[in-house]
Homo-oligomer: A and B are copies of this chain.
């Protein structure tokens, strides 16, 4: 969508979405070195060589840039999780891999991109749209896996589907929520296997 403040693109100028992507890429680079909380839009403008006014043409605030970066990070995690789920046909194994992929991908973000993790943590703490949507998509994926297991006969069908999916999501949530993950790192190695086993026992027909 085009912002009303954007001037019409010249015949040779970059399209709006390309400029937005450039700003997001440069901001990701900058935040990952200097952190999100302490950087202002002025700092960012100076560092990436655009004027502050130019950045404000495309993003209404630092948080709007942060949301975009956060959304990109969460999309990457989600892609890993979906790939793990799709890599096997058996629903019980899908569930195990889903849990493990969530923990692995979230820990990778936590340890490798510590400064970007800070953005995700702000996002989760302040209920940004990007994290709310991410949590919803993970819940939907989980419900799909449970439903596949019901159809294949691997999982019980007595409990209402949404109740089952919601409860399993509550078990997973401490490991995908960035602010909670930091308190579960000592368990992060063994927890996915132990919790998956418990969940699978709860699903047995």
A183 to chain B, nearest CB (A): 5
- A3 touches B (CB below 8 Å): no
User: A201-B202, A202-B201 in contact; A183/B179 too (CB < 8 A)?
Assistant: yes
> Chain A: interface secondary structure?
helix
| This protein's copies in its complex | 2
- A191 touches B (CB below 8 Å): yes
- A48 touches B (CB below 8 Å): no
Residues 167-195 of chain A, each 1 if its beta carbon lies under 8 Å from chain B, else 0:
11011011001011001100100010011
B194:A167 contact, CB within 8 angstroms: yes
A188 to chain B, nearest CB (A): 11
A123 to chain B, nearest CB (A): 13
Between A124, A187, A202, the greatest number of chain B beta carbons within 10 A of the residue's beta carbon is seen for A202
Of B174, B180, B202, which contacts A202 at CB under 8 A?
A: B202
A202 to chain B, nearest CB (A): 4
A170:B183 contact, CB within 8 angstroms: no
Of B159, B167, B198, which contacts A167 at CB under 8 A?
A: B198
Chain B residues positioned under 8 Å from A202 (CB to CB): 198-199, 201-202
